[in-house]
């Protein structure tokens, strides 16, 4: 059974810092991996989608990498801003027709 882990559960950094959020999964046979952002009490906003054949994806200040063999993905946020404060979730899809399995998320606080 696929398990997705995100550690630490919470992170507080000063504005301007570059940071890395980690995601690990137990079964490396994934189809793709998606990073989401969730603001308190709100829905899930898709940030980046990485297919199993890809190593990384970039969108603006965000860069996500995928290492299937080690069961890891990282979300890199450059030059963090207070507006980046949110919970970041990663989710893996084991097969093309499979449900998403989520991690519990990392709650990021960027201090002005």
Partner 1 sequence: EPEVTQTPSHQVTQMGQEVILRCVPISNHLYFYWYRQILGQKVEFLVSFYNNEISEKSEIFDDQFSVERPDGSNFTLKIRSTKLEDSAMYFCASTMFVGAYGYTFGSGTRLTVV
Q: Do residues 92 and 100 lie in contact, with contact meaning Cβ atoms separated by under 8 Å?
A: yes
Cα(92)–Cα(96) distance, rounded to whole angstroms? 11
Q: Which of 18, 51, 81, 109 binds partner 1 (CB under 8 A)?
A: 51
Long-range contacts formed by 40-43: CB under 8 A, 24+ apart: 40/86, 40/87
Please select the residue that binds partner 1; options are 101, 106, 108, 110, rule is CB under 8 A: 101
Q: Which of 64, 71, 75, 93 binds partner 1 (CB under 8 A)?
A: 93
Rounded CA-CA distance 20/77 in Å is 6
Shortest reach from residue 37's CB to partner 1, in Å: 11
Whose Cβ is closer to partner 1: residue 34's or residue 80's? 34
| Residue 64 is a binding residue for partner 1 (CB under 8 A) | no
């Amino acid at each position: 059974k696929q398990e997705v882990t995100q550690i630490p559960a919470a992170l507080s950094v000063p504005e301007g810092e570059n940071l890395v959020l980690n995601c690990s999964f137990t079964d490396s046979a994934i189809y793709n991996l998606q990073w989401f952002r969730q603001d308190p009490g709100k829905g899930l906003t898709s940030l980046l989608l990485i297919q199993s054949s890809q190593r990384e994806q970039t969108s603006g200040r965000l860069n996500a990498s995928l290492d299937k063999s080690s069961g890891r993905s990282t979300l890199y946020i450059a030059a963090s801003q207070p507006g980046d404060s949110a919970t970041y979730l990663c989710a893996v899809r084991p097969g093309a027709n499979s449900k998403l399995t989520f991690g519990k998320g990392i709650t990021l606080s960027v201090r002005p």
